[in-house]
Amino acid sequence: MEEEQLIAGLRAKDRKTTEYLYEKYSRALFAVISRIVHDSDIAEEVFHDSFVKIIKKIDRYEESKGRLYTWMANICRNSAIDKLRSKEISQSGKTNTIDDFVYGLESKSGTVEQTDAIGVRELMDQLNEDQRFIIEYIYFKGYTHSEVSEEFEIPLGTVKSRVRASLQVLKKNLDRI
């Protein structure tokens, strides 16, 4: 299904199209949430709310402002960050690191869904120390780039270029896995 067709189906509130969207994107969108929200029950709750929101607010999506996946991923990411900052989670005091996340994948693999935990670990190992740090905070802990800049006294421009460098490394190595 082309993206145009998909969006039209979603706007028409078509159930089949919604199911297609779910099958195609639920895994990736759930990943966006669960790398920020560690607790799997809460992550599923956030995912439920986010996906329902995506379907209900599909009319607010404008093609001219970016691709569908980016729009959906941002909704999920923002919901996860909101949840993370609400009392509910901060009380548990858990902070997510890449290692926690990979460990989580390893402990899950072979049960529900086969995930290439080794692949993820190898991929993350390609990052140097600075890049790993940036990915950990922005991708896994839900920091914004300006928060990272302020909290760790790294110039904003440096944060930006490290985000870019990290994603470039990941992008290149994704093809190999």
Partner 1 sequence: MDIQSYIASGKLELFLLGELNEREREEVLALSKQYPEIQQELNELEEAMFALDELTGTKPSPKVKDKIFASLESEFKKEETVKPTAAPIEAKVVKLSPWKPFAVAASLVAIIASAVAVFYANKFYERDQQFTALMQEQSVMADNLNQVKLDYEQKDTQLEKIIAGAFKRVEMKGEGFDMQKDAKVDVFWDQNAQEVFVAVNNLNSLSEEYDYQLWAIGDDGPIGIGLVNAGEKLTLQQMEAVAQAGAFAITIEPKGGSESPTLEKLVVLGEVA
In order of 27, 112, 176, the CA distances from 48 in angstroms are 13, 18, 32
Closest CA to 83 of 140, 135, 41, 42: 42
DSSP 140: I
Q: Is 52 in the site for partner 1 (CB under 8 A)?
A: yes
Contact 169, 131 (CB under 8 A): yes
Among 11, 13, 60, 94, binds partner 1 (CB under 8 A): 13
CA pair distance 147, 159, nearest whole angstrom: 10
What residues from 118 to 137 belong to the interface with partner 1 (CB under 8 A)? 119-120, 123
Q: Based on the shown chain and the rule CB under 8 A, indicate whether residue 48 belongs to the binding site for partner 1.
A: yes
The residue within the footprint of partner 1, chosen from 20, 106, 154, 170 (CB under 8 A), is 170
Q: Is the dihedral of CA 52, 55, 60, 64 positive or negative?
A: positive
Helix H or strand E segment including 154: none
Smallest gap from residue 153 Cβ to partner 1 (A): 18
**153 in contact with partner 1 (CB under 8 A):** no
Q: Which residues bind partner 1 (CB under 8 A)?
A: 12-15, 18-19, 22, 26-32, 34-35, 43-44, 47-48, 51-52, 55-56, 64-67, 69-70, 73-74, 77-78, 101, 105, 108, 112-113, 115-116, 119-120, 123, 138, 144-146, 157, 159-164, 167, 170-171, 174, 177
